[in-house]
Chains A and B, each alone.
Chain A
Amino acid sequence: MEQREAAEPALKRTRDREPAARDEEQLVERLKSGDHQALEAIFRLHSNKVFQLAYKLTRDRTESEEVVQDVFLTVYQKVRGFRGGSRFSTWLYRLTVNAALGRLRRKKRSKEVSYEDFLPQFQPDGHHLERPVVDWSNDVETRSSGRELQDLLTRALNQLRPQDKAVVVLSDLEGLRDQEIAKTLGLSVAAVKTRLHRARLFLRGQLAVHLGYSPT
């Protein structure tokens, strides 16, 4: 009955928390003057969300706990440089994504896989290379067990480049807009779109190959 623990958390609801903004500003001011209790208060307010976001990106509890530590240590060390041009929670969000990304980069990705092998290919005249393209959208779940799909997606997501994985999580799970993702990751909007599209094509290709079709 502890199911609710695993329910989808709330960092993406950042925009709904406007009333708390003032309190947050005060806490940040106190923190700037070196008040440890302010950090404790900020930790209690935000550590859960930081953990959940880190977990979405790393899918690893220990790594996510490390991210929580890194992030709050950075907050403490860098808060004086935080100008308040953006919301504190936005800053925290970016610190979290980047700390998690750093950990993903350090961790060896499971076997290097060529993206190209799973992207669609086309004939010289622009048609799909293998035709007909099979529509497996209605039967993929009956043709594979839930377990198989879980394993496949775990593997495929781990084969994405860390930044591409972050783009997928921020877009398709967190529901951020391309512009927000671009700012969070320090990319151009065009680069975000390209990465997201390629990542989706790669994941689609993995599913197609799993079902015995060409990625085309």
Chain B
Amino acid sequence: MAKATGSAKMRLLKSDTCKEATSLLLDYLAGTLPPKVKRAFERHLSICPDCVSFLKTYQKTIRLTQSFLSQNIAAAKLVHVERSLSRRLKKSKRSR
């Protein structure tokens, strides 16, 4: 019985490989893997230090990108934009 369950789980990852595990990272981190696939994924991690390192550096990349992107967002100074917009509006025709 236990054996059958085990091999069924095994088949949930098409081929229990690092390549397969890497392709699941996005859904794993988003929490959108089906529970059985998630368990299979975590089982792969438990025996594969390479994929653990890959996961950690993938997560770190997301955090670094996030903090980079949220830095130094310029403040808007839009008075001249508003002026030039109203000039353009006066010339522009509306589409129907």
Interface residues of A (CB under 8 A from B): 2, 5-6, 8-9, 34, 36, 39-40, 43, 47-48, 51-52, 55-56, 61, 64-65, 68-69, 72-73, 76-78, 80-81, 120, 122, 125-128, 131-137, 140, 149-150, 153-154, 157, 168-169, 172-173, 178, 193, 196-197, 200-201, 203-204, 207-208
Pick the residue among B57, B68, B74 that contacts A135 (CB under 8 A).
B57
Task: Tell me the B18-35 residues at the A interface (CB within 8 Å).
Answer: 18-20, 22-23, 25-27, 30
On whether the beta carbons of B61 and A120 are closer than 8 Å, the reply is no
Pick the residue among A40, A61, A127 that contacts B17 (CB under 8 A).
A127
Q: What's the dominant secondary structure at chain A's contact region?
A: helix
Q: Can you list 30 residue pairs at the A/B interface with Cβ under 8 Å?
A: A6-B71, A40-B82, A40-B86, A47-B81, A47-B82, A61-B74, A64-B74, A65-B78, A68-B76, A77-B93, A81-B95, A120-B22, A120-B54, A127-B19, A128-B54, A132-B49, A132-B53, A133-B49, A133-B54, A134-B53, A136-B60, A137-B53, A137-B59, A153-B64, A168-B65, A173-B70, A196-B26, A200-B26, A203-B61, A204-B57
- Chain A residues, Cβ within 8 Å of B56: 135, 137
User: Who on chain A is nearest to B54 by CB?
Assistant: A133
On whether the beta carbons of B70 and A8 are closer than 8 Å, the reply is yes
- Chain B residues, Cβ within 8 Å of A78: 95
User: Who on chain B is nearest to A47 by CB?
Assistant: B78
User: Who on chain B is nearest to A67 by CB?
Assistant: B81
Q: How large is the interface on B (under 10, 10 to 19, 20 to 34, 35 or more residues)?
A: 35 or more
Interface residues of B (CB under 8 A from A): 15, 17-20, 22-23, 25-27, 30, 49-54, 56-62, 64-66, 68-76, 78, 81-82, 84-86, 88-89, 92-96
